[in-house]
Amino acid sequence: MRESLKNASDYRVIRNVTIVGSAVDAVLAVGKITGGFIAQSQALIADGIHSVSDLVTDLLVIVAARHSSHEADSEHPYGHGRIQAIAAALLAVSLALIALGIAWDALSRLRGMGELLSPGWLAVVVAGISVAAKEAVYQYTSRVARALDSNLLHANAWHSRTDALSSLIVIAGVLGVMSGFPWADAVGALGVGVIILHAAFKIGREAFDELIDTGLDEKTLASMRQAILGVPGVIGVHELRTRRMGSQLLADMHIHVDPLISVSEGHHIGDRVMLLLGREFKSLADIVVHIDPEDDCELPNPASLPLRADLERTVRQTLTSFDAGSRPLEVDCLGLVLHYVGGAVTGEVILALPPEASRHLMESESAAMSKALIEKTPLSAASIVYRSR
């Protein structure tokens, strides 16, 4: 419930931030395209098309954030966070196509296949307004993206930054034409295309890294290992795996604990690890801890080792036929604690404490029973424990 409330809250913030950016994009798109035609600036028209793409991606961001905020369900047990990565990937592809189109048109004009335009001061003014407005949108969006740890919002912020940078190139190109270099505006348009293509690559790489479950950086993993090893009872950690889903992180790991502690104690140590990681790494939304009695990467237990039912049967058979003198063994009171460690299985056989008159024979009797159990059962070691009723 708490996670679903956070997702809904994040969506509202992302929506509000993006609406502000889309309003700016709409005004700038109309202004730059109109100004580009009036001022005869190919670079400014290309920059206006870039702003139109910003407006489209703003809508994509809102739709993606809305769907990714939905709670986990039976068909999507990890939630819908990957929708953000898919949207960011689509955004990157659309940016790349726009960049290639702008670059192709600019190169065509430079090669004499189209008219070189001659812009004036109007293009400089419009581009200057765009720089100031889009940089402000970038700073605002980027700050919220960091607060929410949202890759999608961060990608959209960089989309705004590329619009501001491309407007700077427009200014340089227009001033170049006005200074007597007629090709400068087309070169500026080509520069805009290169900047947009670079942004597309950066956004796309992050999105595809998430979609193919790329793990966190080594520095973060080292910090996580250090935190895990600081939990009392943890001997080691291995198979630490992480991945990102939207603004959330998922992690699973194997922790090595003393092989002779109880299952409940091992579980409690695992809970302490989960609690610590959740406190130290706020973005961790799902943590899975596997408890190991040893490092199973180095010492895997053979699948041929027998399970409890088979062992209990052979141990009972062995003890039933064991000669304990005149005293019958109470095999019905048998308790059996098994340890699968080091590629073998050992056991603690728990028997009822014998009558006081027979207790002087316990030591020699226990040694003989242990020897018989090792010889006649799959146990590689056996100890006898007596317990009063």
**207 shares a domain with 105:** yes
**16 shares a domain with 90:** yes
pLDDT band per the 50, 70, 90 thresholds, residue 273: very high
Residue 261 belongs to a domain: yes
Q: Which of these three, 183, 211, 239, is where a domain ends?
A: 211
**145 shares a domain with 8:** yes
Q: Which of these three, 164, 189, 211, is where a domain ends?
A: 211
pLDDT band per the 50, 70, 90 thresholds, residue 116: very low
**225 shares a domain with 151:** no
Residue 297 belongs to a domain: no
Query: What pLDDT does 64 receive?
Result: 64
**370 shares a domain with 272:** no
Per-residue pLDDT, averaged over 154-182, amounts to: 74
Q: Is the pLDDT of residue 179 over 60?
A: yes
Q: What is the mean pLDDT of the chain?
A: 78
Of the candidates 65, 86, 227, the one whose C-alpha atom is nearest the C-alpha of residue 148 is: 65
pLDDT band per the 50, 70, 90 thresholds, residue 333: low
The torsion region of residue 233 among left (phi > 0), alpha (psi -120 to 50) and beta comes to left
Residue 301 belongs to a domain: no
Residue 56 belongs to a domain: yes
pLDDT band per the 50, 70, 90 thresholds, residue 114: very low
pLDDT band per the 50, 70, 90 thresholds, residue 112: low
**274 shares a domain with 153:** no
Of the candidates 320, 304, 316, 323, the one whose C-alpha atom is nearest the C-alpha of residue 347 is: 316
**361 shares a domain with 324:** yes
Chain Cα centroid distance, residue 211: 10
CATH number of residue 94's parent domain:
1.20.1510.10
CATH number of residue 350's parent domain:
3.30.70.1350
Tokens of 298: 């180095």
Distance CA(253)–CA(234), nearest Å, equals 12
Q: Is the pLDDT of residue 295 over 80?
A: no
Q: Return the DSSP state at 301.
A: P
**345 shares a domain with 242:** no
Domain of 222, in residue numbers:
218-292
**269 shares a domain with 286:** yes
pLDDT by residue (tens digit) across 274-283? 999 888 887 7
Q: What angle do CA 232, 233, 234 make, to 5 degrees?
A: 95
pLDDT band per the 50, 70, 90 thresholds, residue 319: confident
Residue 135 belongs to a domain: yes
Q: Dihedrals φ, ψ of 298, to 5°?
A: -95, -35
pLDDT by residue (tens digit) across 358-387? 666 777 788 888 998 999 999 999 998 888
Residue 147 belongs to a domain: yes
**325 shares a domain with 247:** no
Q: Is 86 exposed, middle or buried (0-12, 13-18, 19+ CB in 10 A)?
A: middle
Query: What pLDDT does 250 receive?
Result: 83
Q: Is the pLDDT of residue 4 over 60?
A: no
- Total domains in the chain come to 3
**350 shares a domain with 259:** no
Q: Which of these three, 230, 258, 292, is where a domain ends?
A: 292
Residue 303 belongs to a domain: no
**167 shares a domain with 31:** yes
Q: Is the pLDDT of residue 199 over 60?
A: yes
Q: Is the pLDDT of residue 37 over 90?
A: no
pLDDT band per the 50, 70, 90 thresholds, residue 17: confident
